[in-house]
């Protein structure tokens, strides 16, 4: 996987919304994004850790293949 950019949680949420997800709920700084009974959690931090972003992308790819 290529090197990922450093983006904020809000930017990641916008991308997931564009991919067809919707914001199911939020508790504190963590937003649960859902699509077709599956979901992933995006923290609303100023800068997401690369591993956190990679995990969210992998969850999205896994949902796409189901």
Say which CATH number the domain at 31 has.
Answer: 3.30.920.30
Give, rounded to a whole angstrom, the gap between the first and last alpha carbons of the chain.
21
Alpha helices in the chain (DSSP H): 9-18, 50-65
Sign of CA pseudo-dihedral 39, 64, 19, 11: positive
Q: Residues 13-58: pLDDT tens digits?
A: 999 999 899 999 999 999 999 988 888 899 999 999 888 888 888 8
Report d(CA 54, CA 9) in Å as an integer.
13
Model confidence at 63: pLDDT above 80: no
Report if residue 16 sits inside a domain: yes
Domain interval for residue 34: 9-65
**Model's pTM, two decimal places?**
0.81
Report if residue 54 sits inside a domain: yes
- pLDDT grade for 65, boundaries at 50, 70 and 90: low
Task: Give me the number of domains the chain comprises.
Answer: 1
pLDDT of residue 45: 92
Model confidence at 1: pLDDT above 60: no
């Amino acid at each position: 996987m290529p090197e990922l950019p450093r983006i904020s949680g809000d930017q990641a949420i916008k991308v997931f919304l564009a991919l067809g997800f919707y914001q199911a709920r939020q508790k504190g700084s963590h937003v649960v994004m859902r699509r077709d009974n599956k979901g992933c959690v995006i923290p609303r931090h100023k800068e997401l850790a690369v591993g956190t972003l990679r995990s969210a992308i992998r969850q999205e790819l896994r949902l796409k293949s189901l």
